[in-house]
Amino acid sequence: MNENIKLPFLLNNINSIHEILTRTATKPLRFGIVVKEFYKILSYTNISYIAQLINLNTDLVDYYIFGIISNAIVARRLGLNKTVMLIYPITPEESILASKYDIEVDCQNASWLRKAVSLLNGQVLKVHVWFDSGLSREGLTDENELYELLNEIKQYPNIVLIGLATKYNPDTKGHYIKCNELRPMPIEIRKSYYKNLIKDQIKKFDQIVENARKMQLINENTIIHAGCSNEIQCELSETYYDLVRVGSLVYDSILNNFEAKAQIISIKKIPADFCLGYYCVNGHAKKELKVAYIKMFKLVAPEYRYKNKLLTPIKSVDPYGLIVDDIDDIKVGDMIDVYASNIYSF
């Protein structure tokens, strides 16, 4: 299965990220990974199943963060027993499901909160409140509205405030800085350059956290979180707070090259003049070809080898064809080595 094939690469990245956090964090942290469809390495995989596979194979991840509630619910039903959070908004009606499956959600605003409370009938709902630092994604843009929302949450005994969060916006007024662009820089240059992009946002969020504490809207148990992949690879420990949410670093080849093994699931002869791939995207076979098929990999410039011999792929749909004309002893069940040194996350 594609999930099992890609699992070692993901676990390797998780271990590398944990090493960075262990070396640079100033206090114990919760480590969360974002599990969403748009990461290329997760193409042709079941998002919920890959999360549970990771959970079964490492104890390093504390939080599993999904984009949509259906994936989070399926992961729960597969046995995912760690903390589960949604990073994108849900409807008040879906808060009933979030409560049932113990999924932490974004409390978007006061009207959303009141509607959810009216539907929950006393069921406990765990929420995070977000401040928008300029990405126009999760969170409130008005600081006073945020304090008012935090205060209103305290009025409902079944609404449990878990966290106060933001996501920083590394925008250069025309270009959003991505993980793979930062990596080539030496660490000290990378750290200084990136911190200069978000220093005002860090200062603003720190002030919001301080104000919320002074107003007794949050307490020592409230999880503060902001740091993501960019902040970790720039080693900005002041952005780690209590929880880091890691996406691209888990799924890119920024920390480790992709190496995996794929099993041959069938072998057949392709007659001359047959199309090579859907819509003949690779032209027509000029002669009879022997092709071995493996599960699909959606990678940037992948390399496929059998016993160290480089194979030519036929780009098609699942399964994926590899020309093995001059290999007499190859058979179904044999393993193909798959490599990629440049995986772009989405």
Q: Are residues 45 and 104 in the same domain?
A: yes
Which residues lie closer than 8 Å to 59 by C-beta, 6 or more apart?
Answer: none
Which residues lie closer than 8 Å to 215 by C-beta, 6 or more apart?
Answer: 147, 150, 151
Residues forming beta bridges with residue 85, ordered by sequence position? 65, 104
Q: Hey, what are 310's tokens?
A: 């480089």
Q: Are residues 243 and 293 in the same domain?
A: no
Q: Are residues 318 and 218 in the same domain?
A: no
Q: Are residues 184 and 147 in the same domain?
A: yes
In a domain, 84, yes or no: yes
CATH number at residue 319: 2.40.37.10
Transcribe 287-307 into DSSP letters: S-EEEEEE-----SS-EEEET
Q: Are residues 314 and 196 in the same domain?
A: no
CATH number at residue 118: 3.20.20.10
Q: Are residues 220 and 238 in the same domain?
A: yes
Among 251, 276, 306, give the residue marking a domain's end.
251
Burial tier of 122 (Cβ tally within 10 Å: 0-12, 13-18, 19+): exposed
Residue 257 backbone phi and psi in degrees, to 5: -70, 155
In a domain, 181, yes or no: yes
Q: Are residues 291 and 240 in the same domain?
A: no
Q: Are residues 225 and 89 in the same domain?
A: yes
Q: Are residues 88 and 140 in the same domain?
A: yes
In a domain, 346, yes or no: no
Among 251, 267, 302, give the residue marking a domain's end.
251
Task: Give residue 297's domain range.
Answer: 258-340
> Digits of tens for pLDDT over the chain (346 positions)?
578 888 999 999 999 999 999 999 999 999 999 998 878 788 778 999 999 999 999 999 999 999 999 999 999 999 999 999 999 999 999 999 999 999 999 999 999 999 999 999 999 999 999 999 987 888 999 999 999 999 999 999 999 999 999 999 988 777 778 777 888 889 999 999 999 999 999 999 999 999 999 999 999 999 999 999 999 999 999 999 999 999 999 998 889 988 888 899 999 998 998 887 777 777 888 899 999 999 876 676 789 999 999 998 886 655 688 999 989 999 999 999 998 877 755 4
- Quick one: which H or E segment has residue 126? strand 125-132
pLDDT at 13: 96
In a domain, 345, yes or no: no
280 Cα distance to chain centroid: 34
In a domain, 39, yes or no: yes
The total of other beta-carbon atoms located within 10 Å of residue 211's CB is 14
Burial tier of 196 (Cβ tally within 10 Å: 0-12, 13-18, 19+): exposed
In a domain, 315, yes or no: yes
pLDDT at 175: 79
d(CA 235, CA 214): 29
Contact between residue 90 and residue 69 where contact means Cβ atoms under 8 Å apart: yes
Q: Are residues 30 and 168 in the same domain?
A: yes
Q: Are residues 63 and 181 in the same domain?
A: yes
d(CA 43, CA 210): 41
pLDDT at 315: 67
pLDDT at 277: 74
In a domain, 184, yes or no: yes
- Determine the 3-state secondary structure of 285 from DSSP: coil
- Determine the 3-state secondary structure of 344 from DSSP: coil
Domain count within the chain: 2
Q: Are residues 152 and 218 in the same domain?
A: yes
Among 219, 236, 251, give the residue marking a domain's end.
251
